[in-house]
Every structure is written in structure tokens, then in C-alpha cells.
Structure 1
Amino acid sequence: MTPHTVVACCQLAPRVGDVAHNREISLQAIHNAARQGAQVIVLPELMQSGYVFTDHAHALNLAETATGATVSAWCEAARALDIVIVAGFCERLDSTRVSNSAALIDVNGVQAIYRKAHLWDQEKHIFTPGNEPPPVVQTRFGLIGMMICFDLEFPEWVRLPALAGAELLCAPVNWPASPRPVSERPCEVVRVQANAAVNRMFIAACDRTGTERNVDWVGGSVIVDADGYPLAGPLETPSNGPAMILATLDLKQARHKRISALNHVHADRRTDLYDSARRA
């Protein structure tokens, strides 16, 4: 494992339905980030297809398998550049089902596919939810876990890769913009920081930009350290075009879960009380 890991979030503007365009801009972003030293590159949720589908049939028509043209192109880039890529795509499961998925790819190809377990709003009418926990993959740059967007809203789900040893959690996201008080950070960014802090785990959340069928986005890509403080971002440039954030992480910090001489963020959990509360 390398002593420090350089991580990039590439905040891009995929076009729903234009798979060839989305593949091309993702590859351009990957090569640009690698030229700037990135070893782990995170792309947005549903980068391959775009997000705002008209219906299930529309998504099914755009979907690709994990051996399709887009993931294969990402595999080729990872192999050529000796990097790790975590990116979202609309995955065809069979002739009738699609999943909101993400692939973790390294020099040897696809190492894991994660299928979003917690579906947001209209996603429930389109995607088959995943039923497997977030994978944690040993890469030469560190132990990397992944999940997708709304999954981050469920602290018990984020806890799973942390307990499995993830040092860095990569999250492709599409955060729709919503009103918030002046000067307040987006709640999505706050939750990323909180999840990182309570698990002492680095998190890289890569949002998107570009209005899509009247939907705007937070554009809040952020990379946070194991104490929950931003190392890069949040960008919050939804209307200013594509952008990238880059940060150098000392992932060994995520292996140390003590926050005082007598406190450990995982060992101090009172699971006996939580279990009895569920039984009550």
C-alpha cells in the first residue's frame, strides 16, 4: 500500500440518454485527474446514463451490463493509468430489471459491483434495490468501500463498511438541490462529515452538475478526513460546469479509532442496549 493516497472527485454533467457522450467526458476526466496525480478517482452516480429517466423502460433501454462498453472503457483506463476508479452506472440485471450500481475497478479490472440498497423517490419505480452490504476491497492504495447517494442517509449502513475495515468510503452521488437557509451548508455534506467522524473513516462523495430535465443539483462534491473535516470541497458549483477536487489522504489515520485514552468509536458501542431496544 502507498504511504499516501491521492483521491479525486470529478464533478461532471452527464446527459440523460447520451451514453456515448457520458462515456467520453468520463474518460477525459479520468485522464485529467490521473495527470494531476490522482490514484483513486470517483465519478458521479449514474455517470454512464444520466439520472432523470422518464420511466423504467427508458432506464432499461440505456442500461449496460458490468461487461458493457462503458465499464469496459473504465477498466481499460484503470489498467493503462494504474489507478482505481469508482463510478456509477445503470446496470442491466436481466431482460426486465435494472440496478442503480457502482463499479470499483483497478488495474486488474472490476473488483466489485455495488447495487444501491436505499432508493430515493422515483428510483423506487425504476430500479431493483440491492440486497448486499457495501463491499470493501483491498487495493494497492488502501481498503476502499463504496455505496451510492441516499445510502449515506442511513448511519447503520455506513457503519458496515467501517466495521469491515474500510479506510476510505467512495460514494458516487446525485444530490438534487433543495432550498436551505442562507449561509447553511447542504445537509448532504453535513451527513458525509458526520459519518466520517463517527467512524473515523475518510469519505469521498462525488456529486454531479448540469441541469437535467429541470432538476438542479447541490454540486457538493467533498472529500473529508477521518475527523470529519473537509480536505477538499464542498464544491457547490452546480451551474458553473464540470469541476474536480483533489486531496492527499493519509489512510493509516483511519485505522486508529480512539478519540481519547478511554474512548473508541466502535468498541464503545452498546450493542446489547440497541438489541434490547429493538426487542421492546
Structure 2
Amino acid sequence: MMRIAALQMQSAPGDVDTNLARIEQAAQEAGQGGADLLVTPELCVTGYGAGDIIKSLAEPATGSQVKRLQKISTESGVAIIAGFAERDGAHVFNSAAFVNGDGEPAIYRKSHLYGPYERSLFKSGNPDNCIVELGRLKLGLLICYDVEFPENVRRLALAGADAVLVPTALPRGPSGTFITDHMIQVRAFENQIFVAYVNHFGNDGRFTFAGRSRIAAPDGSLLAEGPEDAESMMFADIDPGAFSASMADNTYLEDLGSA
């Protein structure tokens, strides 16, 4: 079993120091709450709606931002997943870093960019299985729009992920409400895994976010949920053994090749 903390936050656009300071505070709070892992939103280090300045703030995975996240993880004793703008040569990727102390970070690059805003800033990553191990659990990473393609979650589930962790920047609106109220739970149920979907809230000057972060269990139930328009620190225990009955009844992954 592993306890995760999810921070629904309001990033300051273009203010990396302020955003990292908030993550540091949250990591300390997560550790005090017994969490092994803190998950934060998409591009929370730079702010999602910062615009073209994101390109100048982008850093390689070996840069100061990820090093600061490693330092925060070491001091708090909590692993961290945080969204940042990753520079690799001439390209910038919408990425998420997994850090666990001063160990080698794992980097996932968003494969499905959403809309002209993201496509004007970032290069798409290759759809792949970014799976990290923490404790005895395997954790798959996706970012926002990626989770809306069932193939992405299914691929991670077939590769053995116990949970899929999804930093997001979901805007407010009817589609956003449907995604948070239905799609996230369905992704968990149809793959019999946990799904944590961690969003921003409020308005960053360019986008108004839906909030409504969710942590869903394999049986489709919600273990934690954030409000629409406020910061929230959510905790949930990721314990596959607690959902063995659901996994035994809903054998989707086993039955894929039986048709």
C-alpha cells in the first residue's frame, strides 16, 4: 500500500520560484500526512497559461528546476511528480518529472497536445510507457489530454501499472465537467487500476480551470475529489489488495485476447 497526496493549486504564471516554494510547502504537508508521493498539476512549475515566456523558462531535465524538486523530495522524504517545460536542444516539451530524493529523475513528455496554444509552444512526445516504481507499486505517467485517449491508459495497464498519475490543466466548461465526473472513473474501472487526475483551479489570466481533481479506484469509486474553485490537498491510499473483488469480477485485461 502507498499513500499519495494530490495538490490542486493555482500556479503563478511565469514565476518559477513562487511555484517551487508552494510545491516545497505542499511536500512538507504531504510528508506530515504520511504520504509517500505528491502529485501536482500540469506545467505547475512555470504556470500553464504563461504563454511564450514558457519557452524562455524551459530547462533540460538536468536543470535547476528538477534539481530543486530533487532537493525538496530529499528534505521532505516524499517523492514528487511535477509538470514543467523541458528543453531538449531546439525543442520544448510539456513534461512531467518524477523525482525520488537525489535518484535519477524519470521524465514523461506529453504525447497528445491539445489545441493551438499547446501546439504553438511544444513538440509532441512519443507515446510510450513511462512507468516508475515506488515501494512495491508501479506508477504510469500521462499528462492531461493523454488520458482522454483510452489506448494510453490501456497500454500502461497492460505493462503492469498499478496506478496512472495524470497532472492536468483542464479548463472549466461542460467537457471538463464530463471528464472529471465520468471519464476518470471509467478509465480506472475499465483497466482495474487507480487513476489520479490533478488539476489547477482559478484563473491564470489566460485560462479558467475546472478544479475538480479526482483520485479514482479500480471499482470506479472516488477516493478523493477536489472542489471547483479552491486549493485542495487530497490524500488517498493506493492499495490494490483492497479491490481484489473488483479485479476478480471485471477481468478486462485478461479477456482482451479471448474474443
Question: Does TM, normalized by the shorter one, top 0.5?
Answer: yes
TM-score by length of 1: 0.85
- Structure with higher Rg: it is 1
| Residue 193 of structure 1: how far off its partner (Å) | 0.6
Q: What pairs up with 1:131-280 in 2 under 5 angstroms?
A: 131-179=126-174, 185-233=177-225, 235-238=226-229, 240=230, 242-252=231-241, 258-260=247-249, 264-270=251-257
How many percent of aligned residue pairs carry the same amino acid? 33
Q: What pairs up with 1:87-126 in 2 under 5 angstroms?
A: 87-94=82-89, 96-121=90-115, 122-126=117-121
TM-score by length of 2: 0.92
| Residue 77 of structure 1: how far off its partner (Å) | 2.1
Q: Work out whether residues 168 and 251 of structure 1, in 8 Å CA contact, stay in contact via their aligned partners in 2.
A: no
Q: Work out whether residues 71 and 102 of structure 2, in 8 Å CA contact, stay in contact via their aligned partners in 1.
A: no
Q: For the residues of structure 1 that align with 2:121 and 2:219, how far apart are their CA atoms?
A: 36
| Residue 104 of structure 1: how far off its partner (Å) | 1.2
Partner residue in 1 for 2:47:
50
AA partner of residue 157 (structure 1): N
| Residue 88 of structure 1: how far off its partner (Å) | 0.6
Q: Work out whether residues 218 and 247 of structure 2, in 8 Å CA contact, stay in contact via their aligned partners in 1.
A: no
AA partner of residue 83 (structure 1): V
| Residue 215 of structure 1: how far off its partner (Å) | 1.7
AA partner of residue 264 (structure 1): T
The aligned length equals 258
Q: Secondary structure at the match of 2:197?
A: strand
Give the 3 Å change call, closer, same or farther, for CA 64–254 of structure 1 in structure 2: farther
AA partner of residue 40 (structure 1): L
Q: Secondary structure at the match of 1:38?
A: coil
Partner residue in 1 for 2:21:
24
Task: Specify which structure has the higher proportion of helix.
Answer: 2
Unpaired runs of at least 5, structure 1: 274-280
Q: Work out whether residues 46 and 84 of structure 2, in 8 Å CA contact, stay in contact via their aligned partners in 1.
A: yes
Q: Work out whether residues 92 and 98 of structure 1, in 8 Å CA contact, stay in contact via their aligned partners in 2.
A: yes
Q: For the residues of structure 2 that align with 1:217 and 1:141, how far apart are their CA atoms?
A: 34
Q: Work out whether residues 6 and 38 of structure 1, in 8 Å CA contact, stay in contact via their aligned partners in 2.
A: yes
245-254 vs 6-15, which deviates more?
Answer: 245-254
Q: Work out whether residues 44 and 208 of structure 1, in 8 Å CA contact, stay in contact via their aligned partners in 2.
A: yes
Q: For the residues of structure 2 that align with 1:70 and 1:141, how far apart are their CA atoms?
A: 28
Unpaired runs of at least 5, structure 2: none
Give the 3 Å change call, closer, same or farther, for CA 8–157 of structure 1 in structure 2: same
Q: Work out whether residues 167 and 252 of structure 1, in 8 Å CA contact, stay in contact via their aligned partners in 2.
A: no
Map Cα deviations across residues 111-145 of structure 1 (whole Å, 9 max, x no partner). Answer: 41100000011211110000141311122151111
Give the 3 Å change call, closer, same or farther, for CA 123–73 of structure 1 in structure 2: same
Map Cα deviations across residues 40-59 of structure 1 (whole Å, 9 max, x no partner). Answer: 1100000110111433xx22
Q: For the residues of structure 2 that align with 1:110 and 1:237, how far apart are their CA atoms?
A: 35
AA partner of residue 243 (structure 1): S
Q: Work out whether residues 202 and 254 of structure 1, in 8 Å CA contact, stay in contact via their aligned partners in 2.
A: no
Give the 3 Å change call, closer, same or farther, for CA 141–69 of structure 1 in structure 2: farther
Q: Secondary structure at the match of 2:209?
A: coil
Partner residue in 2 for 1:277:
none
Q: Secondary structure at the match of 1:114?
A: strand
Q: For the residues of structure 1 that align with 2:251 and 2:187, how far apart are their CA atoms?
A: 15
Give the alignment's Cα RMSD to 1 decimal. Answer: 2.1
